[in-house]
Amino acid sequence: MEPRIGVYICHCGSNIAGTVNVEAVAKFAQGLEGVVVARDYKFMCSDPGQNMIKDDIKEKELNRVVVASCSPTMHEPTFRRVCQEAGVNPYLFAMANIREHCSWVTEDHDEATEKAKALVSAAVSRVFYHQPLETREVSVNPNTLIVGAGIAGIQAALKIANSGHKVYLVEREPSIGGHMAQLDKTFPTLDCSACILTPRMTEVGHHPNIELMTYSDVEEVSGFIGNFKVKIRKKARFVDEDKCTGCGVCQEKCPFKVDSEFDVGVGQRKAIYIPFAQAVPNVPVIDREHCAYFLKGTCRACEKFCEAKAIDFEQKDEIVEVDVGNIIIATGYGLFEPRGIYQYGYGELDNVVTSLEFERMVNASGPTSGDILLKDGTHPKSVAIIHCVGSRDKDYHEYCSRVCCMYSMKFGHLLREHVPGVKVYEFYVDLRAFGKGFEEFYNRVMEEGTIFIEARPSGVKEEGGKLVVEYEEGGEEKKQAADLVILSTALEAQADAGEVGRLFGIGRSADGFFLEKHPKLDPVATMSDGIFVAGCCQGPKDIPDTVAQAGAAAAEVLSMISRGTVEIEAATAVIDERICSGCQICKLLCPYSAITFDEEKEVCRVNEALCKGCGACVGGCPGDAISLNHFTNEQIVAQMEGMLV
């Protein structure tokens, strides 16, 4: 059928029209081959703009459409829908980005107008060769996998489970709770972290729709949106969960102590242990690295004293396979290792601690029962808190960790509560108290007597048995003595975020955290359809923001479940099996694990539901056996030639 093309140039208010002469571009487009009508309009994405296209399609019998406006990531779906509603296949549409690629990158009106003409001409040449394509619908499995059971994973799991849908909640540690379980009180309201968290943990543990898998790792993910297959390794606890009563006798009787991960070294645990009193599940785990039976074949004290006969040294890891339609990643954050900033003396000097270590010290149910003690067993009379350790520092992490100012101020308050009369000095770069009730909390802490010093200390030294913080203020070198120094360390991406990203096919931003699909308009989706992110794995944030994001991820999943089916993009790669040599280079290159190898026929195949149409396989195929629907050589060459107006 002979192409009859309509071209529509958007002003985007003054975003485009402020730089590009849109009338001139429309006039130019009118003269291009195949163009039946060309118009400009204030906002093509508005209802009148959309109706203008629909009316033209009908009245002028258009069979192809070009819109020159913003980025296709914003409005390509809008205009494809407009075409479809007016009876034109949505793939017979092309978009020219004359905003981000043109008006926003130059102030020169003439140059911008010429470039806009070139981009429109390219889109018109390309749309000539577009083929109608059909999208497919696949059904959505209503089960959901959530990886990570900190407050983000817990919140998302409860939202989905309370709506009547099954959740598999996988946590790699022996208990759920994440970092929030380690905190004492939470800013700015100072409510006890455990008091607000543990009821939710218990609810998760007993929820009929939540299958909790703690001490477990996801090993393999295959499939696509609506239909993922996941292999999970349930590591052996060497304790039978069904028999264990959680009485704790095994822990008491175990003679071997090691540093507790939960207490970040401030306290110790046994070789058989429950990480903390309110752990869910309340079932211990034997740490085979430190258990005398596993190391030397001796002891078995835990087994001897276990009345429930729950100890099982023969227990093996178990592989569980589950089918789910959607996945939420909620793997949280790691903490910056301050040994790298050697001048602060962490690991070298006594009484220099990290913020999380301080949380455990100040916690009433922590190893010191909330008694803040120096190494010599006395209480500190003065404490220095150094903000931004590893954050807002181009040598480490350029970003702001968003919670350190507030938790440091919280420490100022808690110190006074626990050690009356203590002097607290906060060394800050900038104070960021942006949230609800934060500024008020800052004023409160200041009124209580905490002294704020605007400086990034150059070092911490020991002088005459006392710690001394060195800093510069008003061009003058100064020193502040302190008995205890707390380093407010940065929140950073988990050490294994790269591996987790590869496993689930999701990207990371330059700061190492998982990358959302769109920071403003799609902040919990990822580039892998059906996989969402929630909480600090996406970037540092406080508990209220984490909970809000977890709710948003749950809402995305629930909307997918209630739709029941999902549309699969038609612009996917196609392998010509007659040409494919079976070299599998494409399989290695595919970032979405969308290519499989057929052993029998010795050729590669594309799973269309997984393929995102990125084209990596097309470029990498040495035999030219792969083409990409909607990005054929013919279309791309025409687009390039069209630029040469």
Ligand X SMILES: Cc1cc2nc3c(=O)[nH]c(=O)nc-3n(C[C@H](O)[C@H](O)[C@H](O)COP(=O)(O)OP(=O)(O)OC[C@H]3O[C@@H](n4cnc5c(N)ncnc54)[C@H](O)[C@@H]3O)c2cc1C
Q: Regarding beta strands 5-10 and 35-41, do their DSSP bridges make them parallel or antiparallel, or are they unpaired? A: parallel
Structure-block tokens of residue 369: 């029962």
Residue 502: C-alpha distances to residues 219, 226, 593, 608 (Å):
11, 19, 9, 19
DSSP letter at 516 equals P
In the complex with ligand X, which residue's Cβ is closer, 112 or 335? Answer: 335
CB of 220 to ligand X, least distance (A): 13
Does residue 232 contact residue 319 with C-beta atoms inside 8 Å? yes
What the block records as the tokens of 191 is 């409510």
Q: CA–CA separation, 180 vs 561, rounded Å?
A: 29
Residues of this chain that bind ligand X (CB under 6 A): 147-153, 170-173, 178-180, 183, 186-187, 217, 330-333, 335, 355-356, 359, 403, 407, 410, 491, 494, 500, 535-536, 541-543, 546
Look up residue 380 and give its DSSP letter: P
Q: How far apart are CB 39 and ligand X at their closest, in Å?
A: 49
Q: Considering the complex, what minimum distance in angstroms separates the CB of residue 503 from ligand X?
A: 8
Could you tell me if 448 and 475 are in contact, meaning their C-beta atoms sit under 8 angstroms apart? no
Length of the chain: 645
Find the shortest distance in angstroms from Cβ 235 to ligand X.
11
Q: With respect to ligand X, which residue has the nearer C-beta, 440 or 602?
A: 440
- Give me the least distance between CB of 183 and ligand X, in Å please: 5
Nearer to ligand X, 541 or 612 (CB): 541
List the structure tokens of 450.
Answer: 């905490």
Longest dimension (CA), the chain: 91
The residue (of 137 and 439) whose beta carbon lies closer to ligand X is 439
Smallest distance, Å, CB 432 to ligand X?
Answer: 14
The DSSP call for residue 405 is H
Pick between residue 100 and residue 241 the one whose CB is nearest to ligand X.
241
Torsion of CA 9, 11, 12, 14, to 10 degrees: 160
CB of 348 to ligand X, least distance (A): 21
Rounded to a whole number of angstroms, the CA Rg of the chain reads 30
Nearer to ligand X, 402 or 587 (CB): 402
- How far apart CA 167 and CA 160 sit, in angstroms, is 7
Minimum distance from CB of 393 to ligand X (Å)? 17
Per the rule left: phi > 0, alpha: psi between -120 and 50, beta: everything else, 602 is left
Q: Looking at beta carbons only, is 79 or 438 nearer to ligand X?
A: 438
Instruction: Report d(CA 301, CA 293) in Å as an integer.
Output: 9
User: Which residue type occupies 302?
Assistant: C
Residues paired with 10 in a beta bridge: 41
Of the two residues 184 and 483, which places its CB atom closer to ligand X in the complex? 184
Considering the complex, state which of residue 203 and residue 542 has its C-beta at the smaller distance from ligand X: 542
Q: CB 86 → ligand X: shortest distance, Å?
A: 45
Residue 14 φ then ψ, to 5°? -100, 0
Minimum separation from the CB atom of position 434 to ligand X (A): 13
Residue with Cβ nearer ligand X (200 or 541): 541
- The one-character DSSP state at 14 is H
Nearest to 114 by CA among 21, 8, 6, 13: 21
